[in-house]
Amino acid sequence: MARDLRGFLKLLEERGQLRRIKALVDPDLEIAEISNRMLQCGGPGLLFENVKGSPYPVAVNLLGTEQRVCLSMNMETPQELEELGKKLGMLQQPKPPKKISQAIDFGKVLFDVVKAKPGRNFFPPCQQVVIEGNDIDLNLIPMIRPYPKDAGKIITLGLVITKDCETGTPNVGVYRLQLQSKNTMTVHWLSVRGGARHLRKAAEKGKKLEIAIALGVDPLIIMAAATPIPVDLSEWLFAGLYGGSGVQLAKCKTVDLEVPADSEFVLEGTITPGEMLPDGPFGDHMGYYGGVEDSPLIRFQCITHRQDPIYLTTFSGRPPKEEAMMAIALNRIYTPILRQQVSEIVDFFLPMEALSYKAAIISIDKAYPGQARRAALAFWSALPQFTYTKFVIVVDKEINIRDPRQVVWAISSKVDPSRDVFILPDTPFDTLDFASQKIGLGGRMGIDATTKIPPETNHEWGEPLESDVDVAERVTKRWAEYGLTDVNLTEVDPNKFGYEIR
């Protein structure tokens, strides 16, 4: 696959996963409404070729299914993502090899790191057109406004690139930006993020913070930038590991930063510490409008772009959204790393309906009493991204944690609320979560839905119902004889069981 946005669009089109829309559409509300309907039904990616007020097409919903997220990472199945997670786990906590095979495996990972080193492109496509000074007009970029009460137009899938003024170490993040004028935008980032730390350091030195926004990049690089795994590697190296070869970078025209050479647009500017403007409200991933916050103001002095550039965007909101699909893929990558941190965990799942981080279901190979509670507590502290997980449900390894019917059965048949539910009060909480009494502080709940063993219970547990092995085998062999081969036993329609899923 070509390592740029255009190559990915071509791949999706070849797979029948892209629709070109030639009708005139409005970036104000209309594009998001169309895209949202596609997301709800797992529909194709969209390329709007005729956008009101802009000469540039808009691509959206490219990562709207788990399959397309896998394709963006040069993979065909979600299971392959776990192999990538094993590589990252070996880099995060390398262990001395005990066998020749382990040494060979680790050597392969180190070779992958060497291949992943970024390269330099001295004639980058992203600088085919250069616009500076008074000629800059951000209004020509077809930024969308997703919801009626949103404060304005936004950029959502831009790589926001800054650099530590002391060490020179770059940070690549994906933050929301709000259009403020023809040459200014505000950036919304949490105080713990890399860009915010760089701004604080620049303020201490009395310097402006240089910043670059790369738009329309290879979705694989977006996945790398969105991966909050605590490994001491740059996002560029992550992207190289994900893709199997190094990202080609280009030096910006007016700031001392590097961007992906095949970006569709690059916005170059500076932030003066202390210069702020109100940002928001906007619809967020919780499914509500967020608040208004004073946020750093970026003043842009240069825009570069490819010939006939394509604008890539997305938007947040109640799942399913593209961010939820990305989280499902990241869930697979985390799994081997989490197993390395908490050895008893067999598998774990962050359901999209729980905003991909509010509730976790983990399965364990239970060996001793109290192990489910220990696993839940270990999960909360295993990786930083699980800090805001409100609910942890622990089940036996035999339960398919990705089948909600099995999980609900486990909770209903194995849980005594007075014994198996425990609550941790007053823990750090997501400030976007309105359910808590105090913003930023709330409780967590653990649910032990495993089979109980003494002394967790003082009575015999019921014997689970299972088919007779010989009869089951005979039925399988005679299935064609019954005339039932046309019945597909592997596809289940939940609406036939009382659900209403549309």
Give every CB contact of residue 25 below 8 A, 6+ residues apart in sequence: 31, 34, 48, 50, 51, 52
Residue 28 DSSP one-character state: B
Give every CB contact of residue 412 below 8 A, 6+ residues apart in sequence: none
Instruction: Establish whether the linkage from the previous residue to 320 is cis, with ω within 30° of 0.
Output: yes
Instruction: Give yes or no for a contact between 332 and 168, defined as CB atoms under 8 angstroms apart.
Output: no
Give every CB contact of residue 489 below 8 A, 6+ residues apart in sequence: none
Q: Quick check: is 284 catalytic?
A: yes
Which of 379, 403, 385, 397 minimizes the C-alpha distance to 450?
397
Instruction: Give yes or no for a contact between 23 and 52, defined as CB atoms under 8 angstroms apart.
Output: no
Which of 138, 132, 149 minimizes the C-alpha distance to 180?
138
Which of 358, 384, 186 minimizes the C-alpha distance to 285?
358
Instruction: Give yes or no for a contact between 52 and 26, defined as CB atoms under 8 angstroms apart.
Output: yes
Rounded to 10 deg, the angle between the 235-243 and 79-92 helix axes is 140
Both tokens of residue 316?
Answer: 């947040």
Rg (CA), the chain: 25
Residue 336 DSSP one-character state: H
Which of 37, 274, 268, 302 minimizes the C-alpha distance to 158?
268
Instruction: Give yes or no for a contact between 165 and 205, defined as CB atoms under 8 angstroms apart.
Output: yes
- Kind and range of the H or E element at 219? helix 219-225
Residue 129 DSSP one-character state: E
Which of 16, 8, 10, 158 minimizes the C-alpha distance to 74?
8
Instruction: Give yes or no for a contact between 58 and 155, defined as CB atoms under 8 angstroms apart.
Output: no
Give every CB contact of residue 192 below 8 A, 6+ residues apart in sequence: none
Catalytic residue chosen out of the listed positions 218, 262, 284, 420: 284
**Residues with catalytic function:** 284
